Amino acid sequence: MTTQTLAMEATSPVEVVSQAKGEPAWMLDLRLRAWRFFEEIPWPTGSEETWRRTRLTGLRLDDYVPVSGAGAADELSADVRKALAEVESAGSLAFQDGATRVHELEPALASRGVIFCDLDTAVRDHPELVQKYFNSSVALDENKFSALHFALWTSGAFVYAPRNVVVDRPLQAVIQQSAGRFAGYHHTLVVTEPGAAITLVEDFIGGDRGLTNSVVELIAGANSQLNYLHLQNLAETAWNFSTQRMRLQRDSSLRHFIGSWGSRLSKNWLNMELLGAGSSGELLGLYFPSDRQHLDHHTNQLHKADHATSDLLFKGALKDRARSVYQGFIKVYPQAQKTNAYQANRNLMLSQQARADSIPGLEIEADDVRCTHGATAGQVPDEYIFYLMARGIDRANAERMVVQGFLEEVLNRIPVAGVKSKLEGEIARKLGL
């Protein structure tokens, strides 16, 4: 056996990914540190509070090979083209199996300093910005899956809005993964400088029999506005994990939406940190599992500054033997006086076998605050369906109207018309219409 062969065998999967991308030494070092954390953090046993209601039975990470982009088709798939057409945007990115297939940005925005590109390009062309903000919100050891993500990330979107630049129309990214035992590790990094405003829509599709493990870092500068919409419509055989953290500075405003429709199992960690006085954050969620899908959302509203506001509203409809888990936590730190925080999780059960677990929580260390939370779960009242059917509406459409009416409170707060229309179509599809 030659020395070269021994060297190749000793190369870790992290080094293989980094060398293929031609990355600088600092990124390789970050990946290697993350890999060490991944190996050190124990596998969830189900006894941990965050994993008590979500078991990973049947998942073996060794079964999945990171996507490389090498086998991705040059031609856009019909699903990617459809997803791109659903949102009228000022710029688009499309990824197929980790490879960037579309990169568009209106020249007027680029001339004003807006950056919207894939993360590989950003590492090469804007290293000072990426080094400053990458891994600044989500820690390498946030959880076992975030550590694995940082070690092996394969694709990513980088968005940067300079000071006082307002982007009126949304940007969008579509992330598609081919069928098979592949793992996609997509990283999203959005930064708004003071006074800027921007919206990003990301759509995750495909992944039949695969795994996705994403990280989202949203950094809202002082007096800026940031909207982020995360749409997860993966194949119902896919495993999905996502760690998302938002950091809000003084007088900033951030609206975060997550729509969970696909995957066999999803585990989402969503952390919003209100770091500046007068900041305002909104967490919105819609989910609609069916069959035996399992969707788990874990949220934290962390108030670390005074006069800040957070508002969370998650609503879900469940059918067949589906299960949802929502665990939410509001924490008000001692210095965060005049906090106003709200948290609500509502569930509509469309079958006797569906199950929704909802666990809201509060920890308040300041004495001049207003914090409320609530959770509900219930069946569709028979009289609602009877009322609509008595007026000539068939049962299927009557059920659709009830479900859409239940979810309308969240749908009406979605800031992108194309996304709202897309989700209304998904509601109808889930109901068999």
- Encode the chain (433 residues) as per-residue pLDDT tens digits: 333 333 334 478 899 999 999 999 999 999 999 999 999 999 999 999 999 999 999 999 999 999 987 655 578 999 999 999 999 999 999 999 999 999 999 999 999 999 999 999 999 999 999 999 999 999 999 999 999 999 999 999 999 999 999 999 999 999 999 999 999 999 999 999 999 999 999 999 999 999 999 999 999 999 999 999 999 999 999 999 999 999 999 999 999 999 999 999 999 999 999 999 999 999 999 999 999 999 999 999 999 999 999 999 999 999 999 999 999 999 999 999 999 999 999 999 999 999 999 999 999 999 999 999 999 999 988 888 888 899 889 988 888 889 999 999 999 999 999 999 999 999 999 988 7
Q: What pLDDT was estimated at residue 328?
A: 97
* Cα(378)–Cα(384) distance, integer angstroms: 13
Q: What pLDDT was estimated at residue 427?
A: 92
Burial class of residue 48 in the structure, from the number of CB atoms within 10 Å of its CB (0-12 exposed, 13-18 middle, 19+ buried): exposed
For tokens 């007088």, name the residue.
251
Burial class of residue 82 in the structure, from the number of CB atoms within 10 Å of its CB (0-12 exposed, 13-18 middle, 19+ buried): middle
Cβ atoms within 10 Å of 9's Cβ, excluding its own: 8
74 inside domain: yes
Question: Which amino acid is it at 120?
Answer: D
Mark 122-160 as b/e (b = at least 16 C-beta within 10 Å). bbeeeeebbeebbbebbebbbbbbbbbbbbbbbbbbbbb
418 inside domain: no
The tokens for 206 are 């495909």
Task: Report which of 251, 256, 252, 261 is spatially closest to residue 271, judged by C-alpha positions.
Answer: 256
Q: Residue 94: which H helix or E strand, with range?
A: strand 91-96
pLDDT digits (tens, 9 = 90+) for 58-96: 999 999 999 987 655 578 999 999 999 999 999 999 999
Question: Which amino acid is it at 199?
Answer: T
Helix, strand, or coil (residue 421): helix
Q: What pLDDT was estimated at residue 112?
A: 98
Q: What pLDDT was estimated at residue 9?
A: 43
For tokens 């500054």, name the residue.
305
Quote the radius of gyration of the chain (alpha carbons, Å). Answer: 22
For tokens 């990914």, name the residue.
17
Cβ atoms within 10 Å of 313's Cβ, excluding its own: 17
| Cross-strand partners of 96 | 99, 176
pTM equals: 0.95
3 inside domain: no
162 inside domain: yes
320 inside domain: yes
Question: How many domains does the chain divide into?
Answer: 1
91 inside domain: yes
163 inside domain: yes
Q: What pLDDT was estimated at residue 4?
A: 38
Polymer length of the chain = 433
Domain that holds residue 31: 12-380
298 inside domain: yes
